[in-house]
Chain A
Amino acid sequence: MFRLILGVFEEGFIYAVMALGVYITYKILDFPDLSVDGTFPLGGAVAAILIVAGVNPLVTLFLAFLAGAFVGMLTGIIHVKFKVRDLLSGIIIMTALYSINLRIAGKSNVAIFSKESIFENSFLDKVVPEPVKFLVPIIILLLIIIIMKLLLDFYLKTKSGYLLRAVGDNEVLVTSLAKDKGAVKIIGLAIANGFAALAGCIYTQKHGFFEISIGTGAIVIGLASVIIGTSLFKKRGKVKATTAVIAGSVLYKACVSIAISFGMAASDLKLITSVLFLAILIISYERKRRVKTNA
């Protein structure tokens, strides 16, 4: 029972890292960025291949982020500089990454069970006593998600962060401030995909292997987390959007877990997700309308 909840939080935190990125594109920039379906496994491929090569697992976190950010930048450039529609830019990058990820990893499945990771290494073996070992992943994941959340909160308060938020709300304002809104979008996409790749890197280290199919539907999980989180917690006092997104990700994983517990076939889960999605959208819309009519 405890293990079940622990598992939900572990998975939820891993995907929350990606969801924070999706929050930037979807909620702030109003950009439906499908490239995360490719950058999530990109982070995994980078992690696997670097760890096999003997690179320190902590270092792979940074390198995976950079790889994701670079690709996010490309999505942005395709959209901003070459005037390709947002959805298409993402699809182009996502499709290209399938081949690139295979090239990076060398094959479709790379096992790293026997190598050191941020969750299992000789340092932790020495420091952590055997009976509490099972708590190590959740503590590490909690640390990572807190750090990433705080970094993002901090960034959104900087000048560049304000501009980012302004682009989504009011492009004219940004232009009138004599700022290049295209450049701001590119930065936003870079950060978002950096987060997605970082999540893929953590996922691969947590599960012990890279598999090309892990990106399938990543964007759906990201969007679900963002929408569930922001819809449920928006009106609840002072919960920050980033916190809400993290909670949304955990809730999403909890729903999937419940569905599996009840013997739901994996093939039906996507339908359940859609229904859940729709219900939340309708409920949040209802509430918005009621608030308006009451006012």
Chain B
Amino acid sequence: MLFVLLCSLFTGCSQKEGQITIGIGQFAEHGSLDNCREGFLAGLKEAGYVEGENLKVLYDNAQADGGMAAQIANEYVSKKVDLICSIATPMAQSAFGAAKNSDIPIIFTAVTDPVLAELAKEDKTPSGNITGTSDKLPVKEQLEMIRAILPDAKKIGILYSTSEINSVSAIEEYKAAAADYGFEIVIKGITAAADIPLAADSLLESVDCISNLTDSTVVSSLPIILSKAANKNTPVFGSEVEQVKIGCLAAMGLDYYDLGIQTGKMAAKVLKGEAKAADLSFETIEAAAFYGNTAVADNLGINLPDNLVSSAKEMFSEITE
């Protein structure tokens, strides 16, 4: 116990005068979430908070362990940081629970459905001293894009983790909207990365293309899916720029870095005292951006429609491993 005491005294004294300390808790290690964090810091920088100068950043990654997320959140609350940034749903919920009896504001990002997670009420207003940005997928735009690229396709396959709430709610949306574009959604749930090869094989038997969610487990194993799909000449659509870079045909997706910047700016407002987290409704990126990969299109023998290509936020002409 004495040890804990000494340690916290030690860390408590190391804070510089006039410096703002924030804690960034990230639920898992994964490209999109990392982009969120970098964008977040960039957004803060634009607003005048520079790491190392007037901003001290504590960063912890829970490595997808729920118990660890709770411990990290507790840590930030007991250190009385000026603001907690939580990346992904379980981290945001842990921080919300931990900071309940304190006045520390929480800014979240990469939470797909803040209302379902009870971080916000039905009307988008916060449930407490917490707000942020949602990474809700632009499902309709994605379906519209797939229809434009594959006029004859009927079945879209989706792989998802049964343990990821974001994926489950995205699939509901896909199912609800698919018929409007003449598609049928075929889903395959997995419980671990080890299930992916077999699930991908079985899915590829019956579908015309695959569309990805932002499911951490599936995205982490994307190369397996891409190579299996390439063998069957089946196009795979991504949900985010990183996925198009490594070999998805195209995506109508989010830019997590931009999402981070938007989140960083919200955090700056709160830090400057211009607004209270408790009064800010959560935000979503409204405009979906098109990303395409011409190398993949050539391999599949598919022509990407000109109007999509000309509106693209970024086009890639090679597949980066």
Q: Which A residues, 111 to 168, have Cβ-Cβ distances below 8 Å to chain B?
A: 111-114, 120, 133-134
| Complex Cα spacing A228 to B102, Å | 32
B241 to chain A, nearest CB (A): 26
Chain A, residues 248-286, CB within 8 Å of chain B (1/0): the string is 000001101110111101110100000000000000000
Q: Decide if A178 is an interface residue (CB 8 Å cutoff).
A: no
Chain B, residues 128-164, CB within 8 Å of chain A (1/0): the string is 1000000000000000000000000000000001111
| Complex Cα spacing A261 to B25, Å | 13
B168 to chain A, nearest CB (A): 6
List, in ascending order, chain A residues with CB within 8 A of B168's CB: 107-108
Query: Judging by beta carbons under 8 Å apart, are A4 and B96 in contact?
Result: no
List, in ascending order, chain A residues with CB within 8 A of B177's CB: none
Instruction: Give the residue of A8, A207, A263 whose beta carbon is less than 8 angstroms from that of B94.
Output: A207
Query: Judging by beta carbons under 8 Å apart, are B60 and A213 in contact?
Result: no
Chain A interface mostly helix, strand, loop or mixed?
helix
List, in ascending order, chain A residues with CB within 8 A of B310's CB: none
Q: Decide if B1 is an interface residue (CB 8 Å cutoff).
A: yes
Instruction: Give the residue of A3, A109, A206 whose beta carbon is less than 8 angstroms from that of B165.
Output: A109
Q: Decide if B80 is an interface residue (CB 8 Å cutoff).
A: yes
Q: Decide if B221 is an interface residue (CB 8 Å cutoff).
A: no
List, in ascending order, chain A residues with CB within 8 A of B9's CB: 1
Task: Give how many A-B residue pairs fall within 8 Å (CB-CB).
Answer: 143
| Complex Cα spacing A10 to B79, Å | 16
Query: Judging by beta carbons under 8 Å apart, are A208 and B93 in contact?
Result: yes
| Complex Cα spacing A266 to B70, Å | 12
Query: Judging by beta carbons under 8 Å apart, are B65 and A213 in contact?
Result: yes
| Complex Cα spacing A109 to B161, Å | 12
Q: Which A residues, 1 to 59, have Cβ-Cβ distances below 8 Å to chain B?
A: 1, 3-8, 10-11
Known A-B contacts A5-B5, A113-B118, A213-B65; the reply to A257 vs B75 at CB < 8 A is yes
Interface size for chain B: under 10, 10 to 19, 20 to 34, or 35 or more residues?
35 or more
List, in ascending order, chain B residues with CB within 8 A of A133's CB: 101
Chain B residue with Cβ nearest A3:
B78
Query: Judging by beta carbons under 8 Å apart, are A209 and B118 in contact?
Result: yes
Chain A residue with Cβ nearest B79:
A4
Chain A, residues 86-118, CB within 8 Å of chain B (1/0): the string is 000000000000110010000111011110000
Known A-B contacts A11-B70, A102-B162; the reply to A258 vs B3 at CB < 8 A is yes
Query: Judging by beta carbons under 8 Å apart, are A211 and B66 in contact?
Result: yes
Query: Judging by beta carbons under 8 Å apart, are A213 and B163 in contact?
Result: yes
A18 to chain B, nearest CB (A): 11
| Complex Cα spacing A216 to B89, Å | 17
Query: Judging by beta carbons under 8 Å apart, are B165 and A257 in contact?
Result: no
Query: Judging by beta carbons under 8 Å apart, are B163 and A108 in contact?
Result: yes
List, in ascending order, chain A residues with CB within 8 A of B58's CB: 263
Query: Judging by beta carbons under 8 Å apart, are B4 and A258 in contact?
Result: yes
Query: Judging by beta carbons under 8 Å apart, are A257 and B71 in contact?
Result: yes
| Complex Cα spacing A48 to B11, Å | 36
Q: Decide if B271 is an interface residue (CB 8 Å cutoff).
A: no
Q: Decide if A214 is an interface residue (CB 8 Å cutoff).
A: yes
Chain B residue with Cβ nearest A268:
B63
List, in ascending order, chain A residues with CB within 8 A of B67's CB: 214, 216-218, 221
Query: Judging by beta carbons under 8 Å apart, are B77 and A111 in contact?
Result: no
Query: Judging by beta carbons under 8 Å apart, are B8 and A1 in contact?
Result: yes
Query: Judging by beta carbons under 8 Å apart, are A261 and B1 in contact?
Result: no
Q: Decide if B74 is an interface residue (CB 8 Å cutoff).
A: yes
Chain B, residues 14-52, CB within 8 Å of chain A (1/0): the string is 000000000000000100000000000000000000000
Chain A residue with Cβ nearest B75:
A260
Give me 17 A-to-B residue pairs in the complex whose CB atoms sit less than 8 angstroms apart, sorted by A's number: A4-B78, A5-B5, A7-B75, A7-B77, A7-B78, A108-B162, A109-B90, A113-B97, A134-B102, A203-B70, A208-B100, A208-B118, A213-B64, A258-B3, A258-B7, A261-B79, A265-B60
For the A-B complex with A1-B5, A207-B94 known, give 10 more contacts whose Cβ atoms are closer than 8 Å.
Answer: A4-B4, A4-B79, A11-B71, A111-B93, A209-B117, A213-B66, A213-B90, A214-B67, A254-B4, A257-B74
